[in-house]
Structure 1
Amino acid sequence: MLRWRHAGGKGLSRVTSCSSARGSNCSALLRRSTLWWLLELPFFVMAPCPNRKALVGLSFTGVIGLTFLMLGCALENYGVYWPLFVLIFYAICPIPHLIAKRLSDDTDAASSACRELAYFVTTGIVVSAFGFPVILARVKVIQWGACGLVLAGNSVIFFTVLGFFLLFGGGDDFSWEQW
């Protein structure tokens, strides 16, 4: 069992394991070290992050988009939860781009066929996410007001995903050659 101690404002430092001869004293130290860890948690979370404002902004816009989606489902006049199936489109939207980013070779200046196929599949997913609520509204499963709220949520969410890839997708330092 390892113990941690507070290192005078420098965070937590590891101490050797406690002996079994001091049994109750060891558990008290462990409880106290857990308390120090909980007290230090906000400082670990607030560590310097170069893109913190961008990440907070993207989180905020994502919440706004999901709020539009939930309003389109849960308002008393609408009350139908079929539009929540667009969450599947939100989840699978970045997958083709991530796969193509790993498989394609970035050494050539021209675009590769793998990357072009990923753009095509991603475009199909985005168009399907916008078409799904329209089809539901046309067959009278949902009302047109709910369709408008879901389409507004789709716009905000997909611009958030685009913003994430523009801000954080460019500098990938990970390479398989490191293994």
Structure 2
Amino acid sequence: MTFLILACAVPTPKLFWPFFVLLFYVLSVLPVIIANRTTPGNETNPKTEFALFLTAGMVLSAFALPIVLAHANVITWMACTFTLIGNVINYATMFGYAMRDEGFDAPYGGMF
């Protein structure tokens, strides 16, 4: 969050376009959570695979949005860089939380 605030404040004050990636932060975990709630056990089915596909698309969109905004000169490249650094830190934290071990019956971590 610190890098997102820096992206909005440092290059040009009061330019809040980089905060739109917060929407992707919230929406990227929802398909996996919903699929895990409706899937019995640890089996893989098309619903889980589609949820992982949607999550990957939202993560990719969170990285693409600041690049497109910087290319269109809506935000500066410095703000784009700060937003991308914040994305890497945020998604690495989410991935680390998802891969934590929740017992012996979860072969790929707790969330997947």
TM superposition shift of 1:122: 0.1
Counterpart check, 1:90 vs 2:25: yes
Aligned to 1:161: 94
Extract structure 1 runs of 4+ deviating beyond 6 A: none
Distance 1:136 1:107 in 2: 40
Aligned to 2:110: none
Amino acid in the other structure paired with 1:68: F
More strand per residue: 1
State the TM-score, normalizing by the size of structure 2. 0.84
Which residue, 72, 82, 85 being the options, matches 2:7?
72
Give runs of aligned pairs for residues 13-28 of structure 1, distance below 5 A.
none
Structure 1: 5+ residue runs without aligned partners?
A: 1-65, 172-179
Distance 1:74 1:135 in 2: 19
Distance 1:142 1:135 in 2: 9
Aligned to 2:59: 126
TM superposition shift of 1:107: 5.3
Aligned to 1:138: 71
Amino acid in the other structure paired with 2:26: A
State the TM-score, normalizing by the size of structure 1. 0.54
Aligned to 2:49: 116
TM superposition shift of 1:105: 2.4
Amino acid in the other structure paired with 1:103: T
Relative contact order, higher structure (CA 8 A, sep 6+): 2
Q: In the superposition, relative to structure 1, how do residues 152 and 107 fare at CA in structure 2: closer, same or farther (>3 Å)?
A: closer
Once the two structures are superposed, residues 8-33 of structure 1 have per-residue CA deviations (whole angstroms, 9 ceiling, x without a partner) of: xxxxxxxxxxxxxxxxxxxxxxxxxx
